[in-house]
Structure 1
Amino acid sequence: MQTVLLLVLSNIFMTTAWYWHLRGGPQVAEARPILMVIAVSWALALVEYCLAVPANRIGYAQGWSAGQLKVVQEAIALVVFGVFMVLVLGEQLHWRHFAAFVCLMGAVGFLFLK
């Protein structure tokens, strides 16, 4: 559970690092100085690494394989991005987002089968 919580938190920071500067639409995003955007994104990514690295070490020590850790991280990333996309960027979810999520959950399931 600690691994999943840390991965959720790390994905919140990483999604924010990658996409925060798009808020407000293309004109607003283009008006932001790229060096400032990169600096803020790197600061957010540093926090993400401080959460993701321990999450992976803890999960690996508890018997998760690298593949299991990665596919769980990707599933979490999709959920976090979906929430971010709607709440921060104001975009709508479509059926294809849900279909992609179902496919990713299938991948998680396959990697955890004994």
Structure 2
Amino acid sequence: MMDRLLPIGLLFVSNVFMTFAWYGHLKFKNAPLLLVILTSWGIALIEYCFAVPANRLGSAVYSAAQLKGMQEVITLTVFAAFSVLYLGQRITMNHLIGFALIAAGAFFLFRTHH
């Protein structure tokens, strides 16, 4: 069971770091762009320290397509929370519908073939 859960946990942690790397600077629009780029790059390096093991370990029990589908759903989940809690933005019904459609697509990656 741990071999299935550990990659998911690592993907969650990696996505928290990557969300901050990509969007955290939006609260600091007056910061110099080069500083923002270098800071984001440093945060992304930490993200890779979680994402690479997540995919390496996860490939023992999930296909690459399943790992990517999981990563997308996790990304949207982390982003929605980040958007509300950190950026103070609303999640609208259209956002939820769009996210649900992406999650529905990921669902099909886990269906068994008959």
State whether structure 2 residue 2 is matched by structure 1 residue 4. Answer: no
Q: Could you say which residue in structure 1 is the equivalent of 2:85?
A: 87
What is the CA distance between 1:100 and its match in structure 2? Answer: 1.6
Q: Calculate the aligned-residue CA RMSD, in Å.
A: 0.9
- In structure 1, give the amino acid aligned to 2:53: P
For 2:88 and 2:54, the matched residues in 1 are separated by: 30
- In structure 2, give the amino acid aligned to 1:101: F
What secondary structure sits across from 1:45 in the alignment? helix
Q: Could you say which residue in structure 1 is the equivalent of 2:72?
A: 74
- In structure 2, give the amino acid aligned to 1:15: T
What is the CA distance between 1:101 and its match in structure 2? Answer: 2.0
What is the CA distance between 1:97 and its match in structure 2? Answer: 1.4
- In structure 1, give the amino acid aligned to 2:34: L
What secondary structure sits across from 1:91 in the alignment? coil
Q: Could you say which residue in structure 2 is the equivalent of 1:50?
A: 49
For 1:33 and 1:41, the matched residues in 2 are separated by: 12
What is the CA distance between 1:110 and its match in structure 2? Answer: 0.4
What secondary structure sits across from 2:59 in the alignment? helix
**Structure 1 consecutive aligned stretches of length 4 or more whose deviation exceeds 3 Å:** none
Structure 2 portions without partners, runs of 5+: none
What do the CA deviations read for 1:49-87 (whole angstroms, capped 9, x no partner)? Answer: 00000000111012x111110011011000111111111
Q: Figure out how many residues of one structure are paired with residues of the other and give that number.
A: 108
- In structure 2, give the amino acid aligned to 1:22: L
For 2:8 and 2:98, the matched residues in 1 are separated by: 20
Q: Could you say which residue in structure 2 is the equivalent of 1:19?
A: 23
What is the CA distance between 1:107 and its match in structure 2? Answer: 1.3
What secondary structure sits across from 2:89 in the alignment? coil
Structure 1 portions without partners, runs of 5+: none
